[in-house]
Amino acid sequence: MDAEERKAFGARVAQLRKQRGMKQEELGAAIGRTASWVSQVERGVQPVVRLDVLQLLADGLGVSIQVLSPDAPTAPTTPPPADVDEANDLDEARLLISGHPALDVLLSHEAAEPPDLPALTSAVDEVWSLTHAAQFAELSSLLGRLIPRLERAARVADAASKRDAQTLLSATYQALSAAFVRQDEADAAWLAADRSIRAAEMSEQPLQVFAGIFRLAQAFVRLKRLDQAEHAAASAVNALKPHTADESAEPEALSVLGSLHLVLALVHARAGQRVQAREEISNARAVAKRLGGDRNDFNLEFGPTNVEIQAVSTAVDLGDAGEALDIGRQIDPASLSAERRSRLFMDLGRAHAQRRHIGEALDCLLRAEELAPETVRTHVAARATIRELVLIGGRAAPPALSALAERANVLD
Protein backbone atom coordinates (compact mmCIF):
# COMPACT_ATOMS: atom_id res chain seq x y z
CA MET A 1 0.00 0.00 0.00
CA ASP A 2 1.70 3.20 -1.19
CA ALA A 3 1.26 6.67 0.30
CA GLU A 4 -1.65 7.67 -1.96
CA GLU A 5 -3.47 4.40 -1.32
CA ARG A 6 -3.02 4.85 2.43
CA LYS A 7 -4.48 8.37 2.25
CA ALA A 8 -7.45 7.21 0.20
CA PHE A 9 -8.09 4.33 2.58
CA GLY A 10 -7.76 6.62 5.59
CA ALA A 11 -10.23 9.11 4.12
CA ARG A 12 -12.71 6.26 3.63
CA VAL A 13 -12.30 5.15 7.25
CA ALA A 14 -12.84 8.72 8.49
CA GLN A 15 -15.95 9.11 6.31
CA LEU A 16 -17.48 5.84 7.53
CA ARG A 17 -16.66 6.68 11.15
CA LYS A 18 -18.29 10.10 10.91
CA GLN A 19 -21.34 8.61 9.20
CA ARG A 20 -21.80 6.46 12.28
CA GLY A 21 -21.37 9.47 14.55
CA MET A 22 -18.32 7.98 16.24
CA LYS A 23 -15.30 9.78 17.64
CA GLN A 24 -11.84 8.34 17.06
CA GLU A 25 -11.68 7.38 20.73
CA GLU A 26 -14.97 5.48 20.41
CA LEU A 27 -13.90 3.57 17.31
CA GLY A 28 -10.58 2.75 18.94
CA ALA A 29 -12.31 1.46 22.07
CA ALA A 30 -14.69 -0.66 19.97
CA ILE A 31 -11.84 -2.48 18.25
CA GLY A 32 -9.32 -2.56 21.08
CA ARG A 33 -7.04 0.09 19.59
CA THR A 34 -6.13 3.62 20.57
CA ALA A 35 -7.35 6.95 19.24
CA SER A 36 -3.76 7.54 18.13
CA TRP A 37 -3.87 4.42 15.95
CA VAL A 38 -7.20 5.43 14.40
CA SER A 39 -5.87 8.94 13.77
CA GLN A 40 -2.79 7.62 12.02
CA VAL A 41 -4.89 5.27 9.87
CA GLU A 42 -7.17 8.12 8.82
CA ARG A 43 -4.23 10.36 7.94
CA GLY A 44 -2.52 7.67 5.89
CA VAL A 45 0.40 7.27 8.27
CA GLN A 46 -0.53 3.80 9.50
CA PRO A 47 -1.14 1.19 6.77
CA VAL A 48 -3.68 -1.57 7.37
CA VAL A 49 -2.42 -4.54 5.37
CA ARG A 50 -3.29 -7.54 7.51
CA LEU A 51 -6.66 -9.10 6.79
CA ASP A 52 -7.46 -9.72 10.46
CA VAL A 53 -6.86 -6.04 11.31
CA LEU A 54 -8.90 -4.97 8.29
CA GLN A 55 -11.74 -7.22 9.45
CA LEU A 56 -11.51 -5.78 12.96
CA LEU A 57 -11.75 -2.25 11.59
CA ALA A 58 -14.66 -3.14 9.32
CA ASP A 59 -16.53 -4.73 12.24
CA GLY A 60 -16.00 -1.59 14.33
CA LEU A 61 -17.43 0.54 11.54
CA GLY A 62 -20.32 -1.85 10.94
CA VAL A 63 -19.47 -2.53 7.28
CA SER A 64 -18.09 -5.40 5.26
CA ILE A 65 -14.43 -5.61 4.35
CA GLN A 66 -15.35 -5.04 0.71
CA VAL A 67 -17.09 -1.74 1.58
CA LEU A 68 -14.07 -0.62 3.54
CA SER A 69 -11.51 -1.88 1.04
CA PRO A 70 -12.91 -3.09 -2.32
CA ASP A 71 -9.60 -4.61 -3.33
CA ALA A 72 -9.23 -6.65 -0.14
CA PRO A 73 -9.00 -10.44 -0.54
CA THR A 74 -11.97 -12.49 0.57
CA ALA A 75 -9.85 -15.25 2.10
CA PRO A 76 -6.78 -15.17 4.35
CA THR A 77 -3.54 -14.60 2.51
CA THR A 78 -0.04 -15.69 3.37
CA PRO A 79 1.49 -13.20 5.83
CA PRO A 80 4.46 -11.20 4.64
CA PRO A 81 7.94 -12.50 5.45
CA ALA A 82 9.29 -11.48 8.86
CA ASP A 83 12.00 -9.34 7.31
CA VAL A 84 9.61 -7.14 5.32
CA ASP A 85 9.60 -3.61 6.72
CA GLU A 86 6.12 -2.30 7.57
CA ALA A 87 5.25 0.98 9.23
CA ASN A 88 3.67 0.58 12.63
CA ASP A 89 2.37 2.99 15.21
CA LEU A 90 2.85 2.56 18.93
CA ASP A 91 -0.04 0.13 19.23
CA GLU A 92 2.19 -2.38 17.48
CA ALA A 93 4.93 -1.50 19.95
CA ARG A 94 2.50 -2.40 22.73
CA LEU A 95 2.20 -5.89 21.27
CA LEU A 96 5.97 -6.09 21.07
CA ILE A 97 6.38 -5.66 24.83
CA SER A 98 3.50 -7.98 25.72
CA GLY A 99 4.72 -11.26 27.19
CA HIS A 100 8.27 -12.56 27.45
CA PRO A 101 10.57 -10.92 24.90
CA ALA A 102 12.85 -13.87 24.03
CA LEU A 103 11.13 -17.21 24.61
CA ASP A 104 13.08 -18.93 21.83
CA VAL A 105 16.34 -18.33 23.71
CA LEU A 106 15.02 -20.12 26.79
CA LEU A 107 14.40 -23.33 24.84
CA SER A 108 17.47 -23.27 22.59
CA HIS A 109 20.46 -25.48 23.31
CA GLU A 110 22.47 -24.35 20.29
CA ALA A 111 25.40 -21.98 20.49
CA ALA A 112 24.18 -18.50 19.63
CA GLU A 113 25.91 -16.17 17.20
CA PRO A 114 27.70 -13.33 19.01
CA PRO A 115 25.75 -10.06 18.81
CA ASP A 116 26.98 -7.29 16.53
CA LEU A 117 27.28 -4.60 19.20
CA PRO A 118 28.43 -1.77 16.87
CA ALA A 119 25.38 -2.35 14.64
CA LEU A 120 23.09 -2.50 17.65
CA THR A 121 24.61 0.71 19.04
CA SER A 122 23.96 2.49 15.74
CA ALA A 123 20.37 1.26 15.74
CA VAL A 124 19.79 2.52 19.30
CA ASP A 125 21.13 5.92 18.26
CA GLU A 126 18.57 5.93 15.45
CA VAL A 127 15.83 5.01 17.93
CA TRP A 128 16.59 8.11 19.96
CA SER A 129 16.81 10.30 16.86
CA LEU A 130 13.28 9.22 15.91
CA THR A 131 12.06 9.66 19.48
CA HIS A 132 13.43 13.21 19.73
CA ALA A 133 11.86 13.98 16.34
CA ALA A 134 8.49 12.53 17.45
CA GLN A 135 8.43 10.23 14.40
CA PHE A 136 6.49 7.50 16.15
CA ALA A 137 5.40 5.33 13.22
CA GLU A 138 8.99 5.03 12.00
CA LEU A 139 10.14 4.44 15.57
CA SER A 140 7.75 1.57 16.09
CA SER A 141 8.81 -0.04 12.83
CA LEU A 142 12.47 0.08 13.87
CA LEU A 143 11.75 -1.22 17.38
CA GLY A 144 9.86 -4.17 15.98
CA ARG A 145 13.14 -5.45 14.60
CA LEU A 146 15.53 -4.09 17.21
CA ILE A 147 14.06 -5.05 20.59
CA PRO A 148 14.00 -8.83 19.89
CA ARG A 149 17.63 -8.61 18.75
CA LEU A 150 18.64 -6.71 21.89
CA GLU A 151 16.74 -9.05 24.19
CA ARG A 152 18.50 -12.02 22.64
CA ALA A 153 21.87 -10.27 22.76
CA ALA A 154 21.41 -9.51 26.46
CA ARG A 155 20.93 -13.23 27.11
CA VAL A 156 23.39 -14.93 24.75
CA ALA A 157 26.35 -12.53 24.75
CA ASP A 158 29.53 -13.50 26.54
CA ALA A 159 30.34 -11.91 29.88
CA ALA A 160 32.39 -9.13 28.30
CA SER A 161 29.56 -8.05 25.97
CA LYS A 162 26.52 -8.77 28.10
CA ARG A 163 26.74 -5.55 30.12
CA ASP A 164 26.99 -3.49 26.93
CA ALA A 165 23.96 -5.28 25.50
CA GLN A 166 21.98 -4.62 28.69
CA THR A 167 22.94 -0.93 28.56
CA LEU A 168 21.67 -0.68 24.98
CA LEU A 169 18.49 -2.52 25.94
CA SER A 170 17.88 -0.11 28.82
CA ALA A 171 18.37 2.93 26.58
CA THR A 172 15.95 1.48 24.02
CA TYR A 173 13.22 0.84 26.56
CA GLN A 174 13.70 4.38 27.88
CA ALA A 175 13.09 5.72 24.38
CA LEU A 176 9.99 3.58 24.05
CA SER A 177 8.72 4.77 27.42
CA ALA A 178 9.25 8.40 26.41
CA ALA A 179 7.37 7.83 23.16
CA PHE A 180 4.48 6.12 24.92
CA VAL A 181 4.18 9.06 27.32
CA ARG A 182 3.98 11.53 24.44
CA GLN A 183 1.29 9.44 22.76
CA ASP A 184 -0.72 9.20 26.00
CA GLU A 185 -0.05 5.46 26.35
CA ALA A 186 0.91 5.74 30.00
CA ASP A 187 0.35 2.12 31.04
CA ALA A 188 2.69 0.93 28.29
CA ALA A 189 5.17 3.66 29.26
CA TRP A 190 5.18 2.28 32.82
CA LEU A 191 6.01 -1.21 31.56
CA ALA A 192 8.74 0.02 29.23
CA ALA A 193 10.29 2.16 31.97
CA ASP A 194 10.29 -0.77 34.37
CA ARG A 195 12.06 -2.94 31.81
CA SER A 196 14.61 -0.20 31.24
CA ILE A 197 15.36 -0.06 34.97
CA ARG A 198 15.88 -3.81 35.19
CA ALA A 199 18.20 -3.84 32.17
CA ALA A 200 20.13 -0.88 33.57
CA GLU A 201 20.70 -2.67 36.85
CA MET A 202 21.87 -5.78 35.00
CA SER A 203 24.30 -3.59 33.06
CA GLU A 204 25.79 -2.33 36.34
CA GLN A 205 25.16 1.27 35.25
CA PRO A 206 23.60 2.98 38.30
CA LEU A 207 22.95 6.30 36.60
CA GLN A 208 21.08 4.49 33.83
CA VAL A 209 18.81 3.13 36.57
CA PHE A 210 18.09 6.67 37.78
CA ALA A 211 17.38 7.79 34.21
CA GLY A 212 14.88 4.93 33.98
CA ILE A 213 13.21 6.15 37.16
CA PHE A 214 12.80 9.56 35.52
CA ARG A 215 10.89 7.84 32.69
CA LEU A 216 8.86 5.88 35.23
CA ALA A 217 7.86 9.06 37.07
CA GLN A 218 6.74 10.63 33.79
CA ALA A 219 4.53 7.62 33.13
CA PHE A 220 2.98 7.97 36.58
CA VAL A 221 2.26 11.66 35.90
CA ARG A 222 0.49 10.78 32.66
CA LEU A 223 -1.50 8.15 34.57
CA LYS A 224 -2.44 10.94 37.05
CA ARG A 225 -0.87 8.90 39.85
CA LEU A 226 0.93 11.89 41.26
CA ASP A 227 1.69 10.24 44.59
CA GLN A 228 3.56 7.44 42.84
CA ALA A 229 5.37 9.89 40.58
CA GLU A 230 6.47 11.96 43.55
CA HIS A 231 7.59 8.89 45.50
CA ALA A 232 9.65 7.52 42.59
CA ALA A 233 11.32 10.84 41.75
CA ALA A 234 11.86 12.05 45.31
CA SER A 235 13.37 8.72 46.38
CA ALA A 236 15.78 8.93 43.47
CA VAL A 237 16.71 12.54 44.28
CA ASN A 238 17.37 11.68 47.92
CA ALA A 239 19.58 8.74 46.93
CA LEU A 240 21.50 10.75 44.32
CA LYS A 241 22.07 13.99 46.21
CA PRO A 242 24.92 12.75 48.47
CA HIS A 243 26.82 11.64 45.36
CA THR A 244 26.53 15.04 43.67
CA ALA A 245 27.23 17.30 46.63
CA ASP A 246 30.84 18.21 45.90
CA GLU A 247 32.47 19.93 42.93
CA SER A 248 33.82 16.65 41.54
CA ALA A 249 30.35 15.31 40.77
CA GLU A 250 30.04 13.70 37.35
CA PRO A 251 28.14 15.85 34.86
CA GLU A 252 26.08 12.79 33.92
CA ALA A 253 24.92 12.49 37.52
CA LEU A 254 24.02 16.19 37.59
CA SER A 255 21.99 15.76 34.41
CA VAL A 256 19.96 12.99 35.99
CA LEU A 257 19.53 14.90 39.25
CA GLY A 258 18.36 18.03 37.46
CA SER A 259 15.90 16.04 35.34
CA LEU A 260 14.42 14.47 38.45
CA HIS A 261 13.90 17.94 39.94
CA LEU A 262 12.05 18.88 36.74
CA VAL A 263 9.72 15.92 36.94
CA LEU A 264 9.01 16.83 40.58
CA ALA A 265 8.16 20.36 39.42
CA LEU A 266 5.72 18.82 36.97
CA VAL A 267 4.16 16.68 39.70
CA HIS A 268 3.64 19.64 42.02
CA ALA A 269 2.31 21.86 39.23
CA ARG A 270 -0.25 19.24 38.23
CA ALA A 271 -1.27 19.01 41.88
CA GLY A 272 -1.65 22.80 42.10
CA GLN A 273 1.16 23.05 44.64
CA ARG A 274 2.58 26.38 43.56
CA VAL A 275 5.32 26.80 46.19
CA GLN A 276 6.70 23.29 45.80
CA ALA A 277 6.64 23.49 41.99
CA ARG A 278 8.62 26.73 41.98
CA GLU A 279 11.07 25.33 44.51
CA GLU A 280 11.80 22.36 42.25
CA ILE A 281 12.33 24.65 39.26
CA SER A 282 14.81 26.60 41.39
CA ASN A 283 16.56 23.36 42.34
CA ALA A 284 16.82 22.39 38.67
CA ARG A 285 18.18 25.84 37.77
CA ALA A 286 20.89 25.46 40.42
CA VAL A 287 21.92 22.09 38.99
CA ALA A 288 21.91 23.46 35.44
CA LYS A 289 24.12 26.34 36.55
CA ARG A 290 26.63 23.81 37.88
CA LEU A 291 26.62 22.06 34.50
CA GLY A 292 27.22 25.34 32.71
CA GLY A 293 25.54 24.34 29.45
CA ASP A 294 23.05 22.10 27.70
CA ARG A 295 23.83 18.39 27.61
CA ASN A 296 22.10 15.24 26.44
CA ASP A 297 23.23 12.63 28.95
CA PHE A 298 20.95 9.58 28.80
CA ASN A 299 18.93 11.51 26.19
CA LEU A 300 17.48 13.72 28.92
CA GLU A 301 18.43 16.97 27.16
CA PHE A 302 19.06 18.54 30.54
CA GLY A 303 20.62 21.96 30.82
CA PRO A 304 19.73 25.63 31.33
CA THR A 305 17.56 25.80 28.20
CA ASN A 306 15.44 22.77 29.02
CA VAL A 307 14.97 24.02 32.59
CA GLU A 308 13.45 27.23 31.25
CA ILE A 309 11.24 25.27 28.85
CA GLN A 310 9.96 23.31 31.82
CA ALA A 311 9.53 26.55 33.75
CA VAL A 312 7.21 27.74 30.97
CA SER A 313 5.23 24.50 31.18
CA THR A 314 5.02 24.73 34.95
CA ALA A 315 3.76 28.31 34.83
CA VAL A 316 1.08 27.34 32.30
CA ASP A 317 -0.03 24.40 34.45
CA LEU A 318 -0.34 26.79 37.38
CA GLY A 319 -2.36 29.27 35.31
CA ASP A 320 0.38 31.92 35.27
CA ALA A 321 0.20 32.78 31.57
CA GLY A 322 2.04 36.08 31.91
CA GLU A 323 4.99 34.48 33.64
CA ALA A 324 5.10 31.71 31.06
CA LEU A 325 5.22 34.22 28.19
CA ASP A 326 7.88 36.34 29.92
CA ILE A 327 10.12 33.30 30.39
CA GLY A 328 9.43 32.05 26.88
CA ARG A 329 10.60 35.30 25.25
CA GLN A 330 14.07 34.77 26.69
CA ILE A 331 14.53 31.18 25.47
CA ASP A 332 16.53 30.22 22.40
CA PRO A 333 15.73 26.51 21.92
CA ALA A 334 17.67 26.09 18.66
CA SER A 335 20.18 23.64 20.14
CA LEU A 336 17.52 21.22 21.41
CA SER A 337 15.58 18.49 19.65
CA ALA A 338 12.48 19.06 17.54
CA GLU A 339 10.38 17.52 20.30
CA ARG A 340 11.65 19.96 22.94
CA ARG A 341 11.26 22.96 20.63
CA SER A 342 7.77 21.81 19.73
CA ARG A 343 6.89 21.45 23.40
CA LEU A 344 7.98 25.03 24.07
CA PHE A 345 5.78 26.43 21.29
CA MET A 346 2.90 24.21 22.39
CA ASP A 347 3.10 25.56 25.94
CA LEU A 348 3.40 29.13 24.71
CA GLY A 349 0.29 28.47 22.66
CA ARG A 350 -1.45 27.28 25.81
CA ALA A 351 -0.34 30.44 27.62
CA HIS A 352 -1.70 32.68 24.87
CA ALA A 353 -4.95 30.71 24.91
CA GLN A 354 -5.27 31.38 28.64
CA ARG A 355 -5.15 35.08 27.75
CA ARG A 356 -7.57 34.54 24.83
CA HIS A 357 -4.95 35.67 22.30
CA ILE A 358 -6.26 33.55 19.42
CA GLY A 359 -3.84 34.71 16.74
CA GLU A 360 -0.72 34.34 18.89
CA ALA A 361 -1.87 30.98 20.25
CA LEU A 362 -2.55 29.66 16.75
CA ASP A 363 0.84 30.83 15.51
CA CYS A 364 2.61 29.00 18.34
CA LEU A 365 0.62 25.81 17.82
CA LEU A 366 1.30 25.82 14.08
CA ARG A 367 5.02 26.25 14.75
CA ALA A 368 4.83 23.34 17.20
CA GLU A 369 3.01 21.22 14.63
CA GLU A 370 5.60 22.01 11.98
CA LEU A 371 8.33 20.68 14.27
CA ALA A 372 6.53 17.59 15.61
CA PRO A 373 3.14 16.95 13.97
CA GLU A 374 2.35 13.74 15.83
CA THR A 375 2.95 15.33 19.23
CA VAL A 376 0.62 18.27 18.63
CA ARG A 377 -2.13 16.19 17.04
CA THR A 378 -2.24 13.61 19.83
CA HIS A 379 -1.10 15.46 22.97
CA VAL A 380 -3.97 15.85 25.43
CA ALA A 381 -3.11 19.43 26.45
CA ALA A 382 -2.53 20.57 22.87
CA ARG A 383 -5.83 19.13 21.66
CA ALA A 384 -7.67 20.69 24.60
CA THR A 385 -6.12 24.07 23.75
CA ILE A 386 -7.11 23.78 20.09
CA ARG A 387 -10.66 22.89 21.09
CA GLU A 388 -10.77 25.88 23.46
CA LEU A 389 -9.54 28.25 20.75
CA VAL A 390 -12.24 27.00 18.38
CA LEU A 391 -14.88 27.74 21.02
CA ILE A 392 -13.42 31.19 21.72
CA GLY A 393 -13.23 32.03 18.03
CA GLY A 394 -16.68 30.75 17.16
CA ARG A 395 -17.77 31.60 13.63
CA ALA A 396 -14.95 34.12 13.39
CA ALA A 397 -12.28 31.46 13.96
CA PRO A 398 -9.45 31.76 11.42
CA PRO A 399 -9.48 29.13 8.65
CA ALA A 400 -6.02 27.97 9.74
CA LEU A 401 -7.42 27.21 13.20
CA SER A 402 -10.29 25.18 11.74
CA ALA A 403 -7.81 23.25 9.61
CA LEU A 404 -5.60 22.57 12.65
CA ALA A 405 -8.64 21.42 14.62
CA GLU A 406 -9.56 19.07 11.80
CA ARG A 407 -6.06 17.60 11.73
CA ALA A 408 -6.15 17.13 15.51
CA ASN A 409 -9.66 15.64 15.27
CA VAL A 410 -11.24 17.99 17.81
CA LEU A 411 -14.22 19.01 15.67
CA ASP A 412 -16.21 15.77 16.04
Q: How far apart are CA 273 and CA 13, in angstroms?
A: 44
Residues of the chain with pLDDT under 70: 1-2, 72-89, 91, 108-112, 412
Domain boundaries, the chain: 1-78, 333-412
Within 13 A of 222's CA, how many CA atoms are on the CB side? 23
pLDDT of residue 412: 60
Domain 1-78 has CATH 1.10.260.40: yes
Q: How far is CA 305 from the centre of its chain?
A: 20
Q: How far apart are CA 28 and CA 37, in angstroms?
A: 8
Is residue 364 a contact partner of residue 346, using CB atoms and an 8 Å limit? yes
pLDDT of residue 132: 92
Q: Enter the pTM of the model.
A: 0.78
Q: Provide CB contacts within 8 A for 167, sequence distance 6+.
A: 199, 200, 203, 205, 208
pLDDT in tens, 292-340: 999 999 999 999 999 999 999 999 999 999 999 999 999 999 999 999 9
